[in-house]
Structure 1
Amino acid sequence: MSETIHTGGCQCGAVRFKAHGDEFASSICHCRMCQKQTGGYFGAFATFADNKVEWSRGEVSYFVSSNIAKRGFCKDCGTPLTYEWHGDGVSLAIGAFDDPDKVAPNKQLATKSRIQSFDTLHKLKVREDTYGVEQSCVKLQNFQHPDHDTTTWPKE
């Protein structure tokens, strides 16, 4: 049986990764550092052993966010990619995976810092109509890297 390979990368395609195997921990973290890194309600990460992660295109840039951790991102498009600490493991941003559902989180961390409105998101009104969306999409040119590996990027 072959080993599972989870692929992913940044929005512009300059940085791509492969995470090997199905032994990983997956969570969302509500700490302020994760909120600020992602600009969202939480950071969502799947953690693989160091020797299970390979960078298949480009190089990750880093911000040292504390005395024990650094956070990786793409210097070209700004996509948050990693949380790395002094230990064995690379936490890869779940949203950066080509198939995020395959590394879905199964626990929450640092819930004391959870943004209060997180608990009521499921109550938000859902906008069912798509008025104007079709017209906007006709003019849309998407420069985002596709959710799969490519031999070259951007397209020539």
Structure 2
Amino acid sequence: MTSMSGGCQCGRIRYVAEVASDEAYLCHCAMCRHATGGASIAFVNLPLGDVRWEREPDWYRSSPIAERPFCSVCGTPLGFRFVEGAGNIDLTLGSFDDPSRFRPVRNYASEIILPPWQDVSHLPAMRSDENPGIVDRWMKAVGKLPD
């Protein structure tokens, strides 16, 4: 088990999770797309007891069977859990401070995967620090690029 921290963009909601596995998965369901604004969302599934919230997140009842933790200040989606009988919670991979250890092991709701977004490895890549407009904005605002 490894203790890993994470939270929302503004820092109001923070958690520490005890993580035993490097496994993560992508959910392609329409509800997750709407909840996150993405083509899919990467989740890490953990036992509820292995997640300690330093500050309780806000919760949105996203369907008759599920609810989602989020930050009502910055809007960061933090996860998903079933309302009844939940022994586990899915935390959004991107909410971990360092999600680099996780590896995708499956797709969920594969019947509605958006094929053009499934493999983007062939697309041209650009680093943030190669975009003069972004660099200029960050330098003027705070004097450095974000971490």
Report the TM-score, using the length of structure 1 for normalisation.
0.79
The answer to whether the Cα contact below 8 Å between 1:19 and 1:53 also exists between their aligned partners in 2 is: yes
SS in 2 for 1:34: helix
- Cα displacement (A) at 1:120: 4.9
- Cα displacement (A) at 1:24: 7.2
Give the corresponding residue for 1:78: 75
Greater shift in the superposed pair: 69-78 or 125-134? 125-134
Q: How does 1:5-154 map to 2 (within 5 A)?
A: 5-23=3-21, 25-56=23-54, 58-85=55-82, 86=84, 87-127=86-126, 129-141=130-142
Aligned equivalents of 1:127, 1:20: Cα separation in 2: 34
In structure 2, the gaps of 5 or more residues are none
In structure 1, the gaps of 5 or more residues are 148-156
- Cα displacement (A) at 1:77: 0.5
SS in 1 for 2:105: coil
Q: RMSD over aligned Cα, in angstroms?
A: 2.3
The answer to whether the Cα contact below 8 Å between 1:25 and 1:48 also exists between their aligned partners in 2 is: no
- Cα displacement (A) at 1:31: 0.4
**Structure 2 CA distance for partners of 1:50 and 1:24, relative to 1, 3 Å:** farther
Misfit runs of 4+, over 3 Å: 127-134
Instruction: Give the number of aligned pairs.
Output: 141
Aligned equivalents of 1:59, 1:24: Cα separation in 2: 25
Identical positions, percent: 33
The answer to whether the Cα contact below 8 Å between 2:4 and 2:96 also exists between their aligned partners in 1 is: yes
Aligned equivalents of 1:10, 1:104: Cα separation in 2: 21
Aligned equivalents of 2:132, 2:22: Cα separation in 1: 42
